[in-house]
Amino acid sequence: MKDRVKKLLADYEDRHTDFQIDNFIVGCAGDAWAQYKQALREIKARYDILKGKYPRLKRVRAGLDALKERAGDKRSRINYQRLYSLYKSLAADVSKTYGEFKRFVALAEALKAEIGEITPEKRKRLEQQSWVNKARRLVAIDVISSGRIGPQTVDFIFSLPTPMAFELLGEIREKPATQLFLESRGETYAIEDRIKTGTGAGVRTSATAMPGPNPYNFNPQAFRQRGGHVG
């Protein structure tokens, strides 16, 4: 049984896969700016972990070397085995964290190349656009999943500055959910293309070319007359 379990565990991967990182941790964050911020959060978290564990790993390694010099002593051999188990556990944890860290760094560098240098004015513009794009994504999810915009999404839209909110409401009337979803991401090519090129280049599909009728039956004037109810 032990050998069978070891054989099975040889396929175990104790870390997030690249596909998971690309699509369900960073990729699902939204547009390029939202993805970049998410990648930076993940980098910061793992950088702090590595900063704490690398010194400990070095201390344990030094302790192993010291015990190895006294290998003839029975107590030293016992302590060596205990310390070696700790070393293996720490080394595996550092290796896992570092593997994820490298992937997030690669994504962040590619996204940074796409976004360019960040000035205070550009940060403000990107942040505003990112929240609008998040609203587009929420609308698309609601309509695709239930056929109508939910009250929580309407509340989210009205949390935007009034001009931005009403501009988005007008946009909702004209565009199908698929187009809103694509526009919410700001791109339609695989995130892997960013890493390969390092510039954000990839095969694009024009979001404005997406066909389809307006599924919302939305009229801004009627919307206001109904007190904000979307039906």
6, 81, 174, 183 from 86: Cα distances, Å: 20, 9, 61, 49
* Confidence bin at 74 (pLDDT 50/70/90): confident
Interior/surface letters 81-97, b for 16+ CB within 10 angstroms, e for the rest: eebeeebeebeebbeeb
At residue 13, what are phi and psi to the nearest 5 degrees?
-120, 110
State yes or no: pLDDT of 78 exceeds 50: yes
pLDDT at 14 over 60: yes
Q: How confident is the model at residue 229 (pLDDT cuts 50, 70, 90)?
A: very low
CA pair distance 205, 179, nearest whole angstrom: 11
Compute the distance between CA of residue 187 and CA of residue 29 in angstroms, rounded to an integer.
13
Could you give the C-alpha distances from 169 to 134, 154, 178, in angstroms and in order?
Answer: 14, 9, 16
Res. 230: pLDDT tops 60:
no
Of 78-92, 119-133, 151-165, 196-210, least confident by mean pLDDT is 196-210
- For residue range 211-222, list pLDDT tens digits in order: 333 333 334 444
**Buried b vs exposed e over 197-213: b needs ≥16 C-beta within 10 Å?**
eeebebeeeebeebeee
Q: Convert the pLDDT of each residue in 170-213 to its tens digit.
A: 999 999 998 999 899 875 445 556 566 554 433 333 333 333 33
Q: How many CB atoms lie within 10 A of CB 181?
A: 21
Q: Which amino acid is at 72?
A: G
Residue 204 confidence (pLDDT): 36
User: How does pLDDT run across 81-113, given as a tens digit for each residue?
Assistant: 999 999 999 999 999 999 999 999 999 999 999
When comparing pLDDT for 204 and 157, which is higher?
A: 157
pLDDT tens, position by position, 38-70: 999 999 999 999 999 999 999 999 998 888 877
* pLDDT at residue number 211: 33
Nearest to 100 by CA among 150, 45, 154, 144: 45
Cα 151 from chain centroid (whole Å): 26
